[in-house]
Amino acid sequence: MFMVCMKNQIGFFLIMVLFFTLHPQNVFCGTPPKQGENLPEMSLKAPVSKKDSAYLGIGEKPLFLIQDIDAAVIVLEIIGVYCPVCHKQRPHINRLFHRISKNADLSGKIKFLGISAGATPMEVAYYMKTSRVPYPVLPDEKFNAHKKLNQPLTPYTIVITKDGQIRYAHLGLIQDMDGLFATLKKLADKTPVIKK
């Protein structure tokens, strides 16, 4: 009787291990936001840098929503400072940012924001300096924003229009940056900037 009970417990344990191993991101959380959904409302701490706050157009608010950003289109990148794929993607996203910022028709309509899941302000500052990130990246030390987004793996790139609708969502390395640029341009051309 004891051996049968032990075998059942071991069998149950092995099934649970397999379940958690094969479905790690769906066990403890839902799926990350997808194209066509609305971005969940989340309050973010304003950047320390006044230059970054000015770039986002959020004024001097201590807290802001993504929809408060003064742009028709927002590129939101969820990263990890120790994520190797994030580091691999970084130069490509930086080039995309510069391509847009040099385009007079797009620079005021499209803004970029990074959120670094689990990172301290010091880690984010080091990451931004060493990776030459040209736009604001916010530390999400307690994973508050990351949890609101159902804890996506990183990098997770989301494109949101001013109404909060997700128009593009991608997990991992983006292979077609020209395609993403075309998507951003098309969205910016048809989405007006709503001045506050």
Q: Is residue 182 part of a domain?
A: yes
For tokens 């191993």, name the residue: 21
CA distance 15 to 190: 51
Q: Is residue 64 part of a domain?
A: yes
- The parts of the chain modelled with pLDDT lower than 50 are 2-6, 11-28, 195-196
- CATH number, position 155: 3.40.30.10
Residues 10-23: pLDDT tens digits? 544 444 444 444 43
User: What pLDDT score was predicted for residue 121?
Assistant: 96
Would you say 193 and 108 are in contact if contact means Cβ atoms under 8 Å apart? yes
Q: Is residue 26 part of a domain?
A: no
Q: Is residue 74 part of a domain?
A: yes
CA distance 124 to 118: 10
Task: For residue 89, give the 3-state DSSP assignment.
Answer: helix
For 125-164, the three-class secondary structure string (H helix, E strand, C coil) is: HHHHHHHCCCCCEEEECCCHHHHHCCCCCCCEEEEEECCC
Q: Is residue 120 part of a domain?
A: yes
Q: How many domains does the chain have?
A: 1
Q: Is residue 165 part of a domain?
A: yes
CA distance 105 to 108: 7
User: What pLDDT score was predicted for residue 134?
Assistant: 96
Q: In terms of residue numbers, what domain contains 76? A: 42-187
Closest to 145 measured CA to CA, from 51, 61, 76? 76
Q: Is residue 87 part of a domain?
A: yes
Q: Is residue 13 part of a domain?
A: no
CB atoms within 10 A of CB 157: 22
Closest to 142 measured CA to CA, from 68, 55, 44, 72? 44
- Strand boundaries in the chain, DSSP class E: 44-45, 63-64, 73-79, 110-117, 137-140, 156-161, 166-171
Residues 145-162: pLDDT tens digits? 999 999 999 999 999 999
User: What pLDDT score was predicted for residue 51?
Assistant: 95
